[in-house]
Amino acid sequence: MASMLKAPTFVSRQEKLVSFSVGRRRQDRGAPAGIFQKRASFFTVALSSSMSTAAAQHVQKSVLPKTDISIMVNSCCGKMGKAVIKAADSAGVHIVPVSFGAAEESGQTVEVCGKEILVHGPSERESILATVFQENPNLIVVDYTVPAAVNANAELYCKVGVPFVMGTTGGDRDQLYKTVEDSGVYAVISPQMGKQVVAFLAAMEIMAEQFPGAFSGYSLEVMESHQASKLDASGTAKAVISCFQKLGVSFDMDQIKLIRDPEQQLEMVGVPEEHLSGHAFHTYHLTSPDQTVSFEFQHNVCGRSIYAEGTVDAVLFLAKKIKSRADKCIFNMIDVLREGNMR
């Protein structure tokens, strides 16, 4: 496990690598030219699925027309909520100046992108949401709250009849889907809103479906590092592990190595100090039974822009489905990806 926590040795700590190593050089013999170098038994494929804050600052904002879509971002006091509001504002989406938060946040006003957003506590949510929805018939709610609130929030949205994008992880997911299915409310539900990470997950699912048992007998080590405020294990890590299980790997979810200590994240994982409060570093290391072959999959994300931009794409996608009166009402980020660039 110590090797998994060692900082990567590539040029930038924010790069993502999927690496494969073969322990016996003789396995390279006879391989077609271009697949293996004659004297090399290790190769890496770089995946560009991270976005640092510095890099994001150099990306020009698109000049976009205002849309007729309104969004209400719950938990706007949180960093993720604020990131979504900024991304939505850049995309020309109208931000409703109302948000739901914890009881202790009730009455607070949060300023984001020059807009003052009033936070309401739990006691008055239903009447306020119904009023906001009546005043903004094209409303879509964005939920980035806490795992314990997932099911109650979904029940509220479905009771009022307002469509929503759920990026919060945790909760009773089976009950969540049942609640939405029974109500017929349109929703995008995904524990992972970063489109590039979702594409990686989709590729893993295809591999698991096409080649079941391909990694039978291999051992798996999983490390995931997130900011200290993230209480639960990563839903993305669980999804990737599920794919490995289908590929024949024996692994229990409680074996995931959770790193939440900032000192360990700096010294052992290699998280840049400026991103300790917002990052997602994942490593999946597989080893063959005889220890001669290893595979390592790694995806590292710094900051929250990748999730915020994906969330806005999910909002635009959902608005399109509502307008077309699509038969299907529950979508995920794979559906959003298949639709193509929404902006």
pLDDT mean over 165-174: 91
pLDDT score of 80 more than 50:
yes
Distance of CA 89 to the CA centre of its chain: 20
Catalytic, 86? Answer no
* Residue 14 identity (one-letter amino acid): Q
pLDDT score of 13 more than 70:
no
Catalytic, 246? Answer no
Comparing C-alpha atoms, which of 199, 240, 235, 200 is closest to residue 220? 240
pLDDT score of 203 more than 50:
yes
- pLDDT for res 44: 30
- pLDDT for res 318: 97
* Residue 63 identity (one-letter amino acid): V
pLDDT score of 298 more than 60:
yes
- pLDDT for res 169: 83
Catalytic residue among 86, 120, 226, 285: 226
66 pLDDT band, cuts 50/70/90, is low
Residue 54's CB is within 10 A of a number of other CB atoms, namely 12
Catalytic residue among 79, 115, 230, 238: 230
pLDDT score of 127 more than 80:
yes
343 pLDDT band, cuts 50/70/90, is low
Rounded Cα gap, residues 170 and 150, in angstroms: 7
- pLDDT for res 74: 95
